Amino acid sequence: MKNASIENLMEIFNENQDKRICVLGTTCTGKTTIIHDLGIGLDMDEEIFPLLSEEETEYVCSTPWTEEIGKKMDELVRERISIQPGYPMFGTVLLDCDLIVYLHISDELLLERTNLRNTDFMNAKNMQQKIEREIENSRIETIILEVEEFKKKFSI
């Protein structure tokens, strides 16, 4: 694992155009904002939700978030979408990829952002811990970006 800053994100993407890149972060880490601000990447939610039934959507969006819900979402995402080189996928599920870019957020900033978005902090924290375990177990090259570092540059 190595650390980088948000200013390096486009450079990371450009240097790895031939790789399948999975950009992971819990809710409120700014994934969608980065996609819009940089004009690059696909939003995993936008890719998967049109492919889910009403019942599947209702289940994976239920609260509180649990490991069981996370496992079901992982299963659905892995069955139905994949990452293509040159199109980084931003989301919460680790897909088959060649490079992981992990958006790490501190508990303090996560609490601030979940409060602003009226989102449950513990659900977001549980999801973050699951993502971190998956990254650790994956043995896939990983670059860590601290969300705090790019708070100033992007309005997230």
Which CATH number is associated with domain 2-150? 3.40.50
Q: Is there a contact between 77 and 91 (Cβ–Cβ < 8 Å)? A: yes
**pLDDT tops 80 at residue 153:** no
Q: What string of DSSP letters covers 99-122?
A: EEEEEE--HHHHHHHHHHTT--HH
The pLDDT assigned to 147 comes to: 86
Q: pLDDT band for 3, please (50, 70, 90 cuts).
A: low
> Domain residues of the chain, as ranges?
2-150
The pLDDT assigned to 128 comes to: 95
Alpha-carbon separation of residue 136 from 57, 77, 146 (angstroms)? 28, 20, 17
Reported as a single tens digit per residue, the pLDDT across 17-60 is: 999 999 999 999 999 988 988 888 999 999 999 999 999 999 99
The pLDDT assigned to 121 comes to: 94
Reported as a single tens digit per residue, the pLDDT across 111-146 is: 999 999 998 899 899 889 999 999 999 999 999 998
Alpha-carbon separation of residue 93 from 17, 33, 51, 59 (angstroms)? 21, 18, 16, 16
Q: Please, what is the average pLDDT of the chain?
A: 89
**pLDDT tops 70 at residue 2:** no
pTM for the predicted model, two decimal places: 0.87
